[in-house]
Amino acid sequence: MIPSCPTLTLISTHTISLLLVSVLLIQLWKIWRRPATVAHLPPGSCGLPLIGETLSFLAANNSSRGFYAFVQARRLRYGSCFKTSIFGKTHVFVSSTGAAKAVLGNDFVGFTKRYIRSIAELLGEQSLLCASVENHRHLRHSMSGLFNLETLMSSVRMFDGLTVEAMSKWKPGETVVVYKDALKITFRAICKMLMNLDREDELDEMQGGVFEVTEAMLAFPLKLPGTRFFRGLKARKRVMSKLREIIRLRREGIECHEDFLQSLLMKAECSSDDSLTDSQIQDNILTLIIAGQITTASAMTWMVKYLDENQEVQEKLRELHLRLACSSPKMSLGPEAFSEMPYGSKVSMHSIPWKKNP
């Protein structure tokens, strides 16, 4: 056995530290010396080396206003198009109507639509939001049946029933958190529509997991126990396990429902061109739940907010709808009902754009 030498150990430690510092300095020097390869870059700041503006972004996201505060501060300073650096990558934010049309209406011409890597880990590589160009068209075509008129009208009736049920539980004088109730309503409606999930215990378990995944989507992607991102990855595993169990019961014939999941499984059994694998089905059910829940609940909350701030509009809307309810007390929410609500439809549509500029 060779006795250890404190002097040699100290020298080795200093040598390793010096090497690590040297590597870091070289990388920083390369970053700062890297020539610009793209002309006419938008204005903005990429912040500190390596870190960028990630800390500012996360701080804003954890505030009461969310990441809108981060975007608005830079929009006021640099304009409707600016660059920044988040999670080690350079990002360009655009907020004009023309830019939104170019991005959302463009079919992968000139750029690729993908979320950041950490979101792909949470939603899944097969998610519609994270898929490659080739897979995106296939996924989009396979899931188009979810957005036909019959399905949409069925979901409207479901939302109506769930909203009435939630409001019936409000007590006089009680403070109501609209966004919280809106999330619960939209989550239950989406789960019912996608996979006929309506048992209270299963819904609570699923909602808890989905909530943790959602919270982790804009968290710093550290895979360390106790971090929000780590909890999100764990929650994704639980959600995927539940979805696999639901799919297994369907395939074995133990359960069968007329819903979106059943239609996807039937396509897979028939080996049709637009069939999806189980992995694709699971990732995209999670994606649809998160995307539908957050956007719909946010829209509902903003509509309530702006109705409260515009009392004249609120009174007119109430008067028209009470008149409609008295004339057709048994009318359900369907195409015929919407034709009688032109003013309500305009109020709903006008409240959505207001949300875009917090």
What's the whole-model pTM score?
A: 0.72
Fold category of 142-308 in CATH: Cytochrome p450 (1.10.630)
CA angle 326, 332, 335 (to 5 degrees): 110
What is the dihedral sign for C-alpha 70, 71, 74, 75? negative
Q: 297-325, pLDDT tens digit by residue?
A: 888 888 888 889 999 999 998 888 888 77
Can you give the pLDDT at residue 148? 73
Helix (H, G, I), strand (E, B) or coil at 52: strand
Q: 179-225, pLDDT tens digit by residue?
A: 989 999 999 989 998 998 888 899 999 999 999 999 898 788 888 99
Across the range 42-59, mean pLDDT stands at: 86
pLDDT at 4 over 60: no
Q: Tokens 């009435």 map to which residue? A: 164
Write down the domain spans for the chain.
142-308, 310-358
Burial class (CB in 10 A: 0-12, 13-18, 19+), 263: middle
Q: 52-71, pLDDT tens digit by residue?
A: 888 888 888 778 777 788 88
Q: Are 266 and 290 in contact (CB under 8 A)?
A: no
Nearest-10 Cα torsion for 47, 51, 57, 59: -110
> Is residue 2 very low, low, confident or very high in pLDDT (cuts 50, 70, 90)?
very low
Q: Determine the residue type at 63.
A: S
- Residue-averaged pLDDT of the chain: 80
Can you give the pLDDT at residue 346? 83
Q: 116-152, pLDDT tens digit by residue?
A: 778 889 999 888 888 777 777 788 888 877 777 777 7
Can you give the pLDDT at residue 9? 46
Across the range 216-238, mean pLDDT stands at: 91
Can you give the pLDDT at residue 356? 44
> Is residue 28 very low, low, confident or very high in pLDDT (cuts 50, 70, 90)?
low
pLDDT at 236 over 90: yes
Helix (H, G, I), strand (E, B) or coil at 44: strand
Q: 248-297, pLDDT tens digit by residue?
A: 999 888 888 888 888 888 887 776 677 888 999 999 999 999 988 888 88
Can you give the pLDDT at residue 230? 95
pLDDT at 333 over 80: no
Q: Concatenated DSSP letters for 152-171?
A: HHHHHHHHHHHHHHHHHTPP
> Is residue 348 very low, low, confident or very high in pLDDT (cuts 50, 70, 90)?
confident
Dihedrals phi, psi of 110, to nearest 5 degrees? 90, -20
Distance CA 214, CA 218 (A): 8
pLDDT at 107 over 60: no
Can you give the pLDDT at residue 137? 79
pLDDT at 233 over 90: yes
Across the range 10-17, mean pLDDT stands at: 51
Can you give the pLDDT at residue 237? 96
| Stretch (H or E) spanning 82 | strand 81-86
Can you give the pLDDT at residue 271? 67
Can you give the pLDDT at residue 113? 60
